[in-house]
Amino acid sequence: MSDVSLPTYKPKDFATDQDVRWCPGCGDYAVLTAMRKTVANLGVKREDVVFVSGIGCAARFPYYMNTYGAHTLHGRAPAFATGVKLANSALTVFVVSGDGDLLSIGGNHTIHTMRRNIDINIVLLNNKIYGLTKGQYSPTSEVGKITKSTPHGSLDAPMNPIAMAIASGCTYVARSLDVDVKLLTQLLDRGARHRGTSFVEVYQDCNVFNHEAWFYASQKDTRSENTILLEHGKPLVFGKEHENAICRVGDAIEIGSPESDSVLVHDETSIEQAFLLSQLFQPAFPEPLGVFYIDDSQPTYNDMLHEQIDDVKTKHGDVDLQTLVSGSHTWTIR
Amino acid sequence: MTQTSTSQISSVSVRFCGDSGDGMQMVGSQFTDSVATAGNDFATAPDFPSEIRAPKGTIFGVSGFQVQFASTDIHTPGDTVHAMIAMNPAGFKSNIGDVEHGGLVIVNVDEFDKKHLEKCGYAEGYNPLDDEDITTRYKICRVPMSRLTRESLASDEDISVKDIDRCRNMFALGIVCWLYSRDIQPTIERLQHYFGTIKKKPHIADLNVSAIKAGFYFGETAELFPARYEVAPAALPKGEYRRISGNEALVLGLTIASSKADRELFYASYPITPASDVLHGLARLKQYGVRTFQAEDEIAAVMSAIGASFAGDIAVSGTSGPGLALKSEAIGLAVMMELPLIVLNVQRVGPATGMPTKSEQADLLQAMFGRPGESPVIVLAASSPSNCFDMAIEAVRLSTRAMCPVVLLSDGSIANAAEPWCIPDVKQISTIETPKPVAGDANFQPYKRNAETLVRAWATPGIKGLEHRIGGLEKEDGSGNVCYDHENHAKMTSFRSEKIKCLEDVIPELEVEGEGETLVLGWGGTRGTILTAAKQLREDGVQVATAHLHYINPFPKNLGEVLSRYKQVIIPELNAGQLRMLIRNAFLIDAIGISNLSGRSFFVQDLVEKIASVIQGVEA
Ligand code: SF4
């Protein structure tokens, strides 16, 4: 931390000597590109960055980032990352993992990390399928999904990661597409600079087991109809010619004309609006991309922990281990 | 005033029992302080109800506290009770069975009314105090404690009856102090300090002081008691002493060890009986920089600890048996990542939820083997409350030295029990060296090993030039890259166990006490009972040697040689024979087990008889 000058990094400085082993065409490659760009421009030193992952295809991520990294256990990345951050709050900590990892087996840790507002960055690569175990349905798969484990169609409704994050008290909640590297880089960068837990859901294409799952959102010809870009302070309009808008009529959300008085203007500081937007899904609505919600005012757990320790230290003044060991009541045997 | 005769005795075991609202732990603890100050050796055993607020007067709500104090060296709270103070019928009913024949039983007779007798399940119309079987068997002293306490405190103005009634325990303490010729002045000072200074309730302090005095004077004037007793100070080694419980000792040991290692202490835990007091104790040590983290579950607790260890902290996660089961996959991760990690297991009775407030030593095999794959860890076991301090330091020293997880076993009985502890000089405790990497080392490899210890360096984030990635997948020797090569896996598996074996050279050899052809080998919290039993056997003319294991993986280097010197080896354990299984396997000897599966420690007398009968059986 004593060096004043920061090294200037290029994205390729973060490549490692390991061959990237994702399937050709996998959406993870785009995320890796965006992440290397993000970290290169973040203004932090390589040695102060830690990537943590759980298990799954996405969880290979740390091996491909030339920083410190830990490829941990299935679902447990947020808990491991919590320990890293609490031990050394000067570190910039990323968790990158998949939907099965962060929402199913590790759902509890994801929720509690967000609730505590620990200053780490969680990137959820959501491909709506289990890739590494070769194609079972995941907690974000749509009902009726036919997979090896659900030959007659899955029965359980998918989770809503954005709504879960907002409800868990996450203070930065955003969504991007894997292929939109520009948007993704912006969102990752803003999340990394945010003090508190940041959460970016990435619609990620599993080229092998769930190819085209996100095509409605990612393909040039359909994207403008099926997604809507959230920009703070701007009206929520979408469509090829910006011919449609998200309107709020009473308690309901409807699609209306951009000319209407009831067009919603995006307010990324409104938790209520963020939650409403988190409910917009195809085919009824375009799916929002961008920052749903940000709250910069909340203290982080790691800061509070250190403040509490500093306060107690100030209150106690000089302490000495011998006094601690001796305790308050002693007697002498002569 | 009559002068009751005073007899000298060498040891006494006293039990206070009553409703959990009767302040029995408080009274037991105050009495222990008073015997400690008088220079007796002592051992305590609290017995908490598992219900938090059981209905008043019921058996479930009974709380007890036993203390044995002596003019000689003692190690157990005593098999039987010489004097019992029962504040209500439920306490009487559930504890009377432990009082020795002819023992003194002081009851708060005011509570032995129809309502309270029936509440704890005595048949209608029955009062044990009128039962001739009972009155001939014990010396029953009926004291109307509720009434006397009220009468003696009544003059104070503006005091609620509730506050007065809560002082009954101090009245009882006054009686006991008189009975055992204890000076009550130090207790009075402690009460004034606790209630007056700390709790800032001087009027409550005054009430308690008046109550203990009233009880003491009652003893003196009532002529109710057959005799007074005196227990002379014990010949303990010279020094400054304090009272310590096992959980307190873990708190202190971990804090000292991390400072000796010059690293921060990170303690992550999920509340679980009987380990929670370690979390509570460390949470109060922020002035020493201790970081505690109450995680969302057992898995998050141990995983955050491993994360903190990766980042360079002395990382500890405390739990009990069920929690250890939940942590097992994560402990395997720390084995694979070759990171230091200390997992405390304050054992309780299992399986499943078992009996959380009772004690057993049945997690030894879980600690040794309860993980997928070949995943050896260092296994240590504390043998007494104060020994928890030493073993906590050992855990930190060995875990960082070998870059390997340690499971440190304690148990519910030593966690809550207390004994006198000669306070160590912190300056004399050795510093702990951790395997540091060379910053900026151009040839750095995360899994490059020290040729002698077979240990990799602890390169933590923030150190320039040593960026590396590790994880749960098998590693290539040296580079640490993911590697599925078969020969490499065999090699890495053997490194992971060999580096633990290397610790043999830095742990103490096993010491044997006593002589004979029979060795009694113990481990963990039963040490006090085994020592006491062996002493009695020797007094009875039975030759027996004893040894106690604190290091289970690795075993002390000389263990095989020690075992080979004896005709027979007896292993008493509070499980179905777990150490015995390990010993038989490692040394191919026909060790004989003595098991106790009752959820409490051996009675000394039982153990004496069982050991004697094994020895006689062999001789016959
Ligand atoms: S299985 Fe799917 S998610 Fe996994 S690497 Fe291949 S394409 Fe990517």
Alpha helices (H) in B338-422, listed in sequence order: 364-369, 387-402, 412-416
Q: Are B341 and B305 in contact (CB under 8 A)?
A: yes
All domains of chain B in start order, with CATH: 6-230 (3.40.920.10), 243-428 (3.40.50.970), 512-619 (3.40.50.920)
SS3 state of residue A206: coil
Taking Cα atoms as reference points, which of B27, B40, B73, B46 lies closest to residue B176?
A: B27
Residue of B nearest to A1 (CA): B462
State how far residue B467 is from chain A, nearest Cα, in angstroms: 5
8 A C-beta contact, residue A183 and residue A228? no
Q: Which residues line ligand 1 (CB under 6 A)?
A: A 22-23, 26, 28, 57, 127, 131, 206-209
Q: Binning pLDDT at 50, 70 and 90, where does residue A2 land? A: very low
Q: Are B265 and B314 in contact (CB under 8 A)?
A: yes
Spatial separation of the C-alpha atoms in residues B170 and A148, rounded to whole Å: 70
Q: Between A71, A80, A88, which is nearest B303 by CB?
A: A80
Instruction: Provide the 8-state DSSP code for A106.
Output: T
Give residue A208's domain range. Answer: 11-213+299-305
- Nearest CA to B480 out of A61, A63, A58 is that of A63
Our measurement of the distance from residue B347's CA atom to the centroid of its chain's CA atoms, rounded to an integer in Å, reads: 10
| Cβ–Cβ below 8 Å for A327 and B304 | no
Q: Does residue B248 contact residue B423 with C-beta atoms inside 8 Å?
A: no
Determine if residue B308 is left, alpha or beta; phi over 0 gives left, psi from -120 to 50 gives alpha, anything else beta: alpha
Which of these, A290, A286, A283, A277, lies nearest to A248 by C-alpha position?
Answer: A277
The two structure tokens encoding residue A185:
């880089």
Element (H, E) at B211: helix B202-222
Q: Please say whether the dihedral angle defined by the alpha carbons of residues A162, A166, A170 and A173, taken in this order, is positive or negative.
A: positive
Q: Which two tokens stand for residue A97?
A: 């993992």
Nearest residue to B123 via CA among B89, B98, B96: B89
Q: How far is CA A197 from CA A78, A202, A298, B463, in A?
A: 10, 16, 10, 25
How many Å apart are CA B314 and CA A79, to the nearest integer? 17
Q: Is residue A231 included in any domain, yes or no? A: no
Q: Which of B414, B65, B32, B359 is nearest to B247 (CA)?
A: B414
* Residue numbers in A near B238 (CB within 8 A): 333-334
Residue A1 pLDDT greater than 60, yes or no = no
Exposure b/e, B236-266, CB count within 10 A at least 16 = b: eeeeebbbbbbbbbbbbbbbbbbbbbebbbb
Per DSSP, the three-state class of B229 is: strand
Cβ neighbours of residue B90 closer than 8 Å, sequence gap 6 or more: B18, B19, B57, B58, B59, B61, B62, B116, B119, B120
- The helix (H) or strand (E) run that includes residue B248 is helix B246-260
Query: Which residue numbers in chain B have pLDDT < 50?
Result: 1
Nearest-angstrom CA–CA distance, A280 and A277: 6
A288 found inside a domain: no
Q: Please say whether the beta carbons of B412 and B355 come within 8 A.
A: no
* A255 in any annotated domain: no
Residue A54 lies in a domain: yes
Q: Are A15 and A61 contacting, i.e. CB atoms less than 8 angstroms apart?
A: no
Inside any domain, residue A113: yes
- Residue A328, pLDDT score: 87
From the list B239, B285, B246, B245, the residue with the least C-alpha distance to B266 is: B285
Which residue's CA is minimally distant from atom 1 of ligand 1? A131
Model pLDDT, residue B272: 97
- Of B592, B617, B607, B620, the residue nearest B540 (C-alpha): B607
Residues 231-250 of B with CB under 8 A from A: 233, 236-244
Contact B464 A47 (CB under 8 A): yes
pLDDT(A59) > 90: yes
B241 and A331 within 8 Å at the Cβ level: the answer is yes
Helix (H/G/I), strand (E/B), else coil: B265: strand
pLDDT of residue B186: 93
Pairwise CB contact (< 8 Å): A52 & B307: yes
Q: Identify the H or E element spanning B513.
A: strand B512-513
Tell me the mean pLDDT in the region A110-134.
Answer: 96
What is the nearest CA distance from B284 to chain A, expressed in angstroms? 9
CA dist., res. B313 & res. A65, Å (int): 24
Number of domains in chain A: 1
CATH code for the domain of A175: 3.40.50.970
From chain B residues 568-597, the ones with a CB under 8 A of any chain A CB are none
The closest of B556, B280, B165 to B398, measured between CA atoms, is B556
Q: What is the ipTM of this complex?
A: 0.97
Residues within 8 A of A (CB atoms), B 253-312 only: 255-256, 259, 264, 266, 268, 285-289, 291, 293, 295-297, 299-300, 303-312
* Total residue count of chain B as it appears in this document: 620
**Closest alpha carbon to B68 in B488, B604, B517:** B604
Contact B104, B86 (CB under 8 A): no
Contact of B67 with B32, CB cutoff 8 Å: yes
DSSP 8-state symbol, A201: E
Residue B156: predicted pLDDT:
56
Model pLDDT, residue A250: 87
Residue A315, phi then psi, degrees to nearest 5: -60, -40
Using a CB–CB cutoff of 8 Å, tell me whether A84 touches chain B: yes
Residues B298-311: pLDDT tens digits? 999 999 999 999 99
Tell me how far apart the terminal alpha carbons of chain B are, to the nearest angstrom. 60
Residue B249's nearest CA partner among B370, B356, B390, B138 is B390
Backbone φ/ψ region at B506: left (φ over 0), alpha (ψ -120 to 50), beta: alpha
Q: For residue A319, what are its two tokens?
A: 């302490």
A233 class by beta-carbon count within 10 Å (0-12 exposed, 13-18 middle, 19+ buried): exposed
Instruction: Tell me what pLDDT residue A283 has.
Output: 95
Token readout for B600 is 């409490």
The answer to whether the beta carbons of residues B242 and B421 sit under 8 Å apart is yes
A232 found inside a domain: no
Give the helix ranges, DSSP H, for B66-157: 89-95, 114-119, 132-137, 145-153
CA of A43 to the centre of ligand 1 (A): 31
CA A271 to chain centre: 17
Let me know if residue A246 belongs to a domain: no
With respect to residue A5, please indicate whether it lies within any of the assigned structural domains.
no
Residues with Cβ within 8 Å of residue A9, at least 6 apart in sequence:
A39, A40, A41, A46
Across A113-128, average pLDDT: 98
Q: Do B242 and A309 touch (CB under 8 A)?
A: no
Residue B397, pLDDT score: 98
Q: What is the C-alpha separation between A159 and A139, in angstroms, rounded?
A: 6
Q: Report strand pairing: A252-256 vs A244-249.
A: antiparallel
Angstroms from B9 CA to nearest CA on chain A: 20
Distance CA A47, CA A49 (A): 6
**Within chain B, how many helices (H) and strands (E) appear?**
21, 23
3-state secondary structure of A300: coil
Q: Which of A50, A71, A315 sits opposite B473 (nearest CB)?
A: A71
Instruction: State whether residue B468 sits within 8 Å of chain A by CB.
Output: yes
Count residue pairs from A and B with Cβ separation < 8 A: 201
Task: Give, in degrees to the nearest 5, the angle at Cα B588 between B572 and B577.
Answer: 25
B506: contact with A, CB 8 A cutoff: no
Rounded Cα distance, B84 and B100, in Å: 10
**What interhelical angle do A107-116 and B298-310 show, nearest 10?**
70
